[in-house]
Amino acid sequence: MSMRLALLGTGRFATDFAPALVRAGHDVVFGSRRRREGLLAGAPVVSTAEAIASADVVVVALPGETALAFLPEFEEALRGKVVLDVSNAFTSDGDLRFPTSSVGEQLQDLLPSSLIVKSLNNMAGYIAGDPSVLSETTVFLSGNDERAKRAVSELLASIGWAKAVQIDLGDITTSRAVEHLGLLFWALVRKYGTGEFNYRLVLADGVAASS
Ligand SMILES: NC(=O)c1ccc[n+]([C@@H]2O[C@H](COP(=O)([O-])OP(=O)(O)OC[C@H]3O[C@@H](n4cnc5c(N)ncnc54)[C@H](OP(=O)(O)O)[C@@H]3O)[C@@H](O)[C@H]2O)c1
């Protein structure tokens, strides 16, 4: 099913992710602080407010601290919307910006009427958009609202994330686990010299897989 999607931010993640959404037949716009003519990565660039107003699902592709500072002014526009948060927050030294919390949890506190779902924050944007570039790989989802997680799950399925590789970790507090995985992500980038990888969960024989 085609969805109306707003990608907030026109940076690396948003522009690497957008083409897959367009290919899958979704109606995609970028929401930016600066409206632009023409297309970027296959989609128009409108203002943040216009993008949010037009969307069923709003994708937060902003630096984590920026999202927390910038989005509260759009609280009313984001009321009732599914908000897919792909962000992370690190200090300039590469440490966790929120070692006892997460952007996902704080965003849900700041936007109590929005339905925050954390996902896709552990991988490069082009892998998020096309998991077939890797052999079977895992994607995590965290969020308080089951309907919102189902909507994000459908969105992920539409771009190639089979339901079997989607793991619903639970409520939004579990976004802390996947954001803190960022420390491992950057250690692996340092080891391999690239971010072209993703995680794969392997369950022991006999452990029942559930989404
Ligand atoms: N890069 C990846 O592959 C990747 C992978 C997984 C997760 N992530 C996460 O996705 C998020 C975005 O990463 P990125 O690499 O795309 O970052 P980025 O290249 O720095 O882009 C972020 C975008 O945020 C907007 N922005 C910047 N400062 C802002 C401010 N003060 N107020 C409002 N908007 C502002 C800008 O868009 P406008 O100028 O159009 O407003 C900018 O293009 C981060 O939280 C990152 O951890 C990234």
pLDDT digits (tens, 9 = 90+) for 148-178: 999 999 999 999 999 999 999 999 999 999 9
- State both tokens at 133: 């570039």
Supply the pLDDT for residue 14. Answer: 98
Q: Name the residue of 7, 8, 12 to mutate for ligand 1: max ligand atoms within 8 A of Cβ.
A: 12
Distances (CA, A) of 184 to 19, 119, 192: 27, 16, 12
Answer whether 12 contacts ligand 1 (Cβ < 6 A). yes
Confidence band, pLDDT 50/70/90 cuts, at residue 210:
low
CB atoms within 10 A of CB 79: 12
Say yes or no: CB of residue 68 within 6 Å of ligand 1.
no
DSSP code for 164:
G
Q: What is the largest CA-CA distance in the chain?
A: 55
For the chain, report the end-to-end CA distance as a whole number of angstroms.
20
With a 6 A CB cut-off, is 32 part of the ligand 1 pocket?
A: yes
> Is the CB–ligand 1 distance for residue 9 below 6 Å?
yes
Q: Which of 12, 46, 44 is nearest to 123 (CA)?
A: 12
> What distance in angstroms lies between residue 30's CA and the mean position of ligand 1's atoms?
12
* Mutation choice for ligand 1 from 40, 59, 62, 73, CB with most ligand atoms inside 8 A: 62
- Position 102 scores a pLDDT of 98
**pLDDT given at position 159:** 98
CA dihedral sign of residues 23, 24, 27, 30: negative
Q: What's the pLDDT tens digit per position in 42-69? A: 999 999 999 999 999 999 999 999 999 9
Task: Give tens-digit pLDDT for 189-207.
Answer: 999 999 999 999 999 998 9
- Top mutation candidate among 7, 8, 10, 13 for ligand 1, by most atoms within 8 Å of CB: 13
The pLDDT, as a whole number, for residue 1 is: 83
pTM, entire model: 0.98
Q: Is 87 in the pocket of ligand 1 (CB under 6 A)?
A: yes
Query: 85: part of which helix (H) or strand (E)?
Result: strand 82-85
Strands 115-119 and 139-143: antiparallel
Using the predicted structure, report yes or no on whether residue 209 has a pLDDT greater than 80. Answer: no
Q: Is 64 in the pocket of ligand 1 (CB under 6 A)?
A: yes
Give distance in angstroms: CA of 190 to centre of ligand 1.
21
Q: Report pLDDT for 131.
A: 97
Give the integer Cα–Cα distance in Å for 153 and 161: 8
Residue pLDDT, tens place only, 92-151: 999 999 999 999 999 999 999 999 999 999 999 999 999 999 999 999 999 999 999 999
Cα–Cα distance, 47 to 38 (Å, whole number): 14
